[in-house]
Amino acid sequence: MDAISTLIRMARLEADLEVRCLLTGGHVLDNPAGPAGQVPFHILLAGRCAVQTGGRMVDLEAGDVLILPRAERHRVRVRADAAPVPPARHDGVSLATLRSPSAPDVDLFCGRFSYRPGAGDVLFAGLPDILHASFGTGADSPLRLLGELMRNEAALDGPGAGALLASLCEALLALVLRGGGGNSGGAGVSSWTSVVDPGLRAVIEAVVHEPDKPWTIAALAGVAGVSRATLVRHFSAATGMGVADFLTRTRMTVAADLLTTTQRGLGDIAESVGYRSPSAFGRAFRTITGTTPAGWRRAAAMNAPAGGTAPGRGAAGRPLRGE
């Protein structure tokens, strides 16, 4: 299994589409900050929007996907010249629909990824604040087929629609993480998951699949087939992250998964992620997560799996207002 698929599996994500917006006119959707363990996303199949978050404005065109790993408060503005036409709300079995009575200016799906305490926390903490992928709507766009399936399932809202919609959203996450849309990270900030250089990709695969090996930067440079200095320079330029930081974060992602899904001893887990000394492992884990491995395990055991609110009542279900 490839590195991205392995890490998504470790994160144990669950996708939930909350609302489909078929809106006419210049509406605004206010989205409060989300709780821990939830990551909001927006999928724009038609029309134009702008999302304001963290002091930045991200323009969305048809075929764009936006994921906000920090679950920050954000505002979605529908780009339309006409006055807003108030929508009616229909709460279906699988998701809610906000529909204006006239032809919509946008077709926007809004939802969230939820994950249990563990590897998902470390995985999303290592991603940029904004993941913005532009797939377009052309014949070769993966979002064209996925979008039509989403529209059909949302319209039918029949047996199994919720599971099918969730699976389609998880597929879109994988597409965004691997950078297929050419705009992941936004504003020139790349995610390490979207690296295309074969040598750097080999380094990422090696670390994810063999975190227990005594990796050094020199050894990883050998995997990439370049000099140590070249690896350091190219990896930082491509990912915005140092090689050593990536190595530590990946090891702690694996460790967090083991701490929350197994009863293995801390010394055993430390060895599984490349640390011969439990104390060194504990220091590295605390640097990345802010707590000790034992504290992490206790906290995870006390927390119920992320469930959240009922469909249609999350961030995207906030009242609408006009521009």
pLDDT tens digit sequence for 33-65: 988 889 999 999 999 999 999 889 999 999 999
Say what the pLDDT of residue 190 is.
57
Say what the pLDDT of residue 122 is.
85
Q: Band of the pLDDT at 312, cuts 50, 70, 90?
A: very low
**Which candidate, 38, 1, 18, 15, places its Cα nearest to that of 173?**
15
Model pTM? 0.85
Domain definitions of the chain by residue range: 3-190, 195-300
Say what the pLDDT of residue 295 is.
93
Given a cut of 70, is residue 139 above it in pLDDT? yes
- Cα dihedral sign for 265, 268, 271, 275? positive
Q: Band of the pLDDT at 322, cuts 50, 70, 90?
A: very low
pLDDT tens digit sequence for 140-193: 999 999 999 999 999 999 999 999 999 999 999 999 988 866 544 443 345 788
Say what the pLDDT of residue 268 is.
97
Q: Band of the pLDDT at 302, cuts 50, 70, 90?
A: confident
CATH number of 195-300: 1.10.10.60
Contact, 17 vs 109, CB < 8 A? yes
Fold of domain 3-190: Jelly Rolls (2.60.120)
What mean pLDDT do residues 123-140 have?
90
Say what the pLDDT of residue 171 is.
92
